Chains A and B, each alone.
Chain A
Amino acid sequence: MKRFNIVGTDVPRTDAEAKARGTAIYTDDMKLPGMLYGKILRSPLPHALIRNIDISRAASLPGVKCVITGEDTPKIKYGNWRLFPETQDEYPLAVEKVRFIGDEVAAVAAIDNDTAEEALELIKVEYEELPGVFDVDSSILPAAPVIHDYCPSNISVNRKIKYGDIEKGFAEADYVREDTFTMQSVSHAYLEPCSALAQVDLDGRITLWTSTQVPYIIQCLLASTLNMRENDIRVIKPFVGGGFGGKMELRAWEFCAAFIAKKTGRPVKFTLSREEEFLTGRRRHPMKIRSRVGFKKDGTLVAKDLRIQLDGGAYNAMGPTATFLCGNFGAMLYRYPNYRFHGEHIYTNKPPASAMRGFGAPQSLYATEIQMNLAAEELGIDPIDIRLKNAQVSGDKIPDVATISSCGFIESIKAVADMSGWKEKRKNLKPGQGIGIGCYSFISGGVFNWFNTQYPFSAAEVRAFSDGTVHLLTMASDIGQGSDTVLKQILAEELGLNMGDIRITSADTSMTPQADLGSWGSRVTLMAGNAVIDAAKKIKERLFGALSARFNLNVIHEIECKNGRVQAVTRPDYGLTFGEAVALVQKANRGEPLVARGSYTPRGKGLVTPAFGFGAQVAEVEVDRQTGLVEVKQMWTAHDCGTVINPRSVEGQLAGSIQMGLGYALSEQFVMDGGKTLNTSFVDYKMPTAADMPPSQVVHVDTYEPEGPMGAKEAGEGLASPTAPAISDAVYHATGYRCMDLPVTPEKILEGMKKD
């Protein structure tokens, strides 16, 4: 293993103190002189034509400064898949039609929140209600109501993958099973509700502070929907209280804040309430998964035929990407010589589902992992052994996807079996006790460019100063995952500086280098990290040149940046402090500052991702067989995220993943009545709390990813997948109830136990 100074240590997070003290400023904390408060009028119906909107009473309410409807806007559709404009199906405010309860119909800006809310009640909308569809089966029936005119089938995306010879594969199989799984929808439940504040400057340009994962995408899409030029929009990302995939698109309130700011000349802020977030917010896709897998007698996988229908809700949102990825995840983790996938993204009259931590993997891998356990049981093989037999290894080629570089999957499975005492425990389970396993593989960022960015995938600029400090500028977005800290660590390591020597400015589209696709798909550490290293290397070249000239070094000397110095490796006395070296370069250039720009775009890395993370997790549960309540007693995790840049951050990601996985497995779901979300508060949306968290142990498997910065790859998003199958499998061993339709609720457990 390569040795590092700052990388690999528990450096305190850059934002930790401000957050602990409550001094971190989030969008909703901001107030500008003359600022107006915005509120959105939402559709109370799941599917209806808008016949008329009367805003006159609202507009004349004292304190109301602006009321807009879709008719006032340029009516330009948007969506993250710019490369395929037909997938862009959403208007900032509804035009002629609403498609789900919560669809944005009008917006009001007033001198305070209460007035704005009162004004909403004065807007009169005449609807003509249309029949709605609320599940994928009814939505694809020939007679089903059409949700978007452009898409009469209600199937907006079809995605197919095929390699090997699927028929031949199944013909060779000794054992074939086919199962159907369904998964519920869950909320990101980030603790900071969405918030956006827009201001117009003297020449009509717009600055938008917004709680987002993707400032650059917001800049582009806001410009296009406002009919403005990209550079007329400046997007700044303040502190963000979590995203988990729920803040990676342009949203109505961002558009409305900017549009109304332009119209009134006053700053406008919109902040969603928690009820709005739950009632109408983005969510994880419910899926219906039919999976047929074939094995040899000895447990070797020979074929998989996977069919997934995604319940996309009323708009595409990030659904196309989820449709694409869940098919890729279906072929990851294990070796499938013959594979076929068909995914369909289906519209329904429900709040749009979108990206959420794992992006199709938690659903797809739930099916994979439960089927592995079912097969293991029927073939009489230990679940650990059947996984070891089929595990992907370094050098494996996933056709049309990538060749796997670093891979610590087998080590992870072995380590987790060891630390959990798997074999012993499985033999000694008492009734009500269970132990189960779940594994994952995940991408370290996407290679695809459906957004059609014209810039590198990630970029960094490093400015070096003669006082020994540097300034790192990057559009990478720290949304609480800690990228500011990690990027500073990488830069400090590369330049031989301390964390305190580095100033960082991130995620301001007018200041930070073009561009970055945002924080999603576990791309930031690898991609922005590589961009930082690229910039740092260019700085070093210049410093090394200056040092070489200053000491008249033989050209064969190696030079290094270490401990705040720039020096010849074998002759450290031929050296200067970092600041002195910078001063020298600056002098040689007649005062020009020492600045370098670096970038990263994955090239020649297949179609999906430059690197894969892996891991395995074991859960131990105790089930009250009379109430069906599940207590998770312990979690064990062994995973491979390449070089661990900040152990405490990675452990934080793991804890957060377990918390989310726990909810996904056991307690979280949107309770729906047709298109209406019934549980719109944390009292009834059962997100686990600190008190529900099981004790947890972790092993980081030691690998080095050649494509990653200092050997690092993804951590934290892949981990969102194994918890649900591990817990579900443990519940099976405790009760005999095998869950094929998440979540594993007490009611289902009792029902399932009755059947045995």
Chain B
Amino acid sequence: MRLPKFEYFEPKTLEAALNLLTQNGNNAHLLAGGTDVLVKMRNGRLKPEAVIGLQGIEDLNGIHFDSGKGLAIGATAKLAEVASNPDVLKHYPALAFAAGVMANVQVRNMGTIAGNLCNAAPSAENAPPLMAMGAEVALANLQGDRRIALHQFFRGPGLTAMEHGEIMTAILVPFPVPKSGASYKRVSARCGVDIAAVCVSAWVALDGEVCKDVRIVLGAVAPTPMRAVGAESFMREQTWTQELIETAAAQAVQESKPISDVRASADYRKKMVAVLTLRALEQAYERAIKN
């Protein structure tokens, strides 16, 4: 379909981008890799009058790691860059895996983590590992900056806590505390080039054999990526046993609210929440004891 008529801007600085965004009001739309935006524009679901490309903004594509502050992923860093970054691979393997397994080579070479989060699909694959690891996102507007926890960011399919005039500048992930570990598990029909029908991420922090803290995040089974808070609180401060994680997985199933669609039935999704939660917890635990 004909792309709607729009003006394209490629600001060089964040400030210029923020100005453009504010000036153009609701008719403006941001573009990172464009792998969601252009698909929507092509099939007429999105008709912006101004498109503001973020790629040209200096220093927005960095991936910085520091053992004090943790990881900061710039808003225009490519999925493929994140997936192959040595620090990410070493300290955040669950994220490296999610960013490296989703979609296909071409999309990973264009798309960004920020775009994946801001697009806010229930199935956004980077959301579960990032939420599980306690990530925050940095948002900027002309008045200043703010940070919010990623688990407060999603409000519904395509809806986020961002206000108009705001740009996500970075995704911040804390340095993994000792004896903590995270994992990401997904199922899809094909082994390559596919979107997850269900995905689950888990993060655990251990104190000996006690589960000090835990986060379980489910993707594609609710209107937004969601934390299974019931399962989490059931596990906290408990001794790690097979029975504990099996019960937690069953609890996560109770909390999930999947629908049936072309990718899977609600019933299958529920079953997969149980299987993947268990597997995610097992792998997170293994990573935690080694950490």
Contact = CB atoms under 8 A, between A and B. Distances in A.
B190 A688 contact: yes
A665 to B, nearest CB: 12
A629 B279 CA distance: 15
A118 B271 CA distance: 45
Interface stretch (A14-22, A590-598, A677-685, A721-729): A677-685
Contacts of B263: 684
Interface stretch (A508-516, A566-574, A689-697): A689-697
Given A117-B2, A671-B262, A679-B262, A686 B268 contact: no
Nearest to B269: A747
Nearest to A118: B2
Interface string A14-54: 00000000000000000000000000000000000000000
A114 interface: yes
A691 B187 contact: no
A278 to B, nearest CB: 12
Given A114-B2, A747-B264, A690 B190 contact: no
A689 B262 contact: no
B192 A750 contact: no
A686 B275 contact: no
Nearest to A114: B2
B262 A692 contact: no
B271 A686 contact: no
A631 B190 CA distance: 10
B284 interface: no
Contact of A627 (B187, B265, B267): B187
Given A686-B189, A690-B192, A691-B193, A678 B1 contact: no
B272 interface: yes
Contacts of A337: none
A26 to B, nearest CB: 21
Contact of B262 (A113, A684, A746, A747): A684
Q: Which of A114, A679, A683, A690 has the most CB of B within 10 A?
A: A683
A623 B265 CA distance: 20
A211 B262 CA distance: 30
B209 interface: no
A678 B262 CA distance: 7
Interface in B230-269: 262-265, 267-268
A679 B197 CA distance: 14
A30 B1 CA distance: 20
A747 B268 contact: yes
Interface residues of B, number: 19
Q: Which of A626, A629, A678 has the most CB of B within 10 A?
A: A626
B38 to A, nearest CB: 14
Contact of B192 (A118, A629, A689): A689
Contacts of B262: 671, 678-679, 684
B189 A691 contact: no
A350 B139 CA distance: 49
A667 interface: yes
A684 B188 CA distance: 10
B228 to A, nearest CB: 18
B138 interface: no
Interface in A596-632: 626-627, 629, 631
Contacts of B267: 747
A747 B1 contact: no
Nearest to B263: A684
Contacts of B272: 627
Contacts of B275: 626-627
Contacts of A666: 189
A750 B187 contact: no
A671 B267 CA distance: 17
A692 B191 contact: yes
Contact of A631 (B1, B191, B192, B194): B191
A686 B187 CA distance: 13
B265 A667 contact: no
B268 A691 contact: no
A400 B268 CA distance: 49
B72 interface: no
B195 interface: yes
Given A114-B2, A671-B262, A629 B187 contact: yes
Contacts of A684: 262-263
A117 B1 contact: yes
A751 to B, nearest CB: 9
A690 B191 CA distance: 10
B195 A750 contact: no
B271 A750 contact: yes
A287 B191 CA distance: 28
A747 B271 CA distance: 9
Nearest to A679: B262
Contacts of B268: 746-747, 750
Interface string A127-149: 00000000000000000000000
B193 A747 contact: no
A684 to B, nearest CB: 5
A657 B133 CA distance: 44
Contact of B190 (A114, A671, A678, A692): A692
A678 B193 CA distance: 19
B192 A692 contact: yes
Contacts of B193: 689, 691
Given A750-B268, A750-B271, A691 B2 contact: no
B153 to A, nearest CB: 24
Q: Which of B189, B265, B267 has the most CB of A within 10 A?
A: B189
A122 to B, nearest CB: 13
A691 B195 contact: no
B192 A747 contact: no
Interface in B268-285: 268, 271-272, 275
A109 B285 CA distance: 62
Interface string A685-711: 010111110000000000000000000
B273 to A, nearest CB: 11
Interface in B174-228: 187, 189-195
A115 B2 CA distance: 8
Nearest to A680: B262
Contact of B194 (A115, A686, A690, A750): A686
Q: Which of A114, A667, A747 has the most CB of B within 10 A?
A: A747
Nearest to A677: B262
Nearest to A673: B262
Contacts of B191: 631, 691-692
Contacts of A686: 189-190, 194
B264 A691 contact: no
Contacts of A692: 190-192
A117 B195 CA distance: 30
Nearest to A112: B2
* Top-7 shortest CB links A-B: A691-B192, A114-B2, A686-B189, A626-B275, A747-B268, A667-B189, A671-B262
20 contacts: A113-B2, A117-B1, A117-B2, A626-B275, A627-B187, A627-B272, A667-B190, A678-B262, A684-B262, A686-B190, A689-B190, A689-B192, A690-B192, A691-B190, A746-B187, A746-B268, A747-B264, A747-B267, A750-B268, A750-B271
Given A666-B189, A747-B264, 20 more contacts: A117-B1, A117-B2, A118-B2, A627-B187, A631-B191, A667-B189, A667-B190, A671-B262, A679-B262, A683-B195, A686-B189, A690-B192, A691-B191, A691-B192, A691-B193, A692-B192, A746-B187, A746-B268, A750-B268, A750-B271
Interface of A: 113-115, 117-118, 626-627, 629, 631, 666-667, 671, 678-679, 683-684, 686, 688-692, 746-747, 750
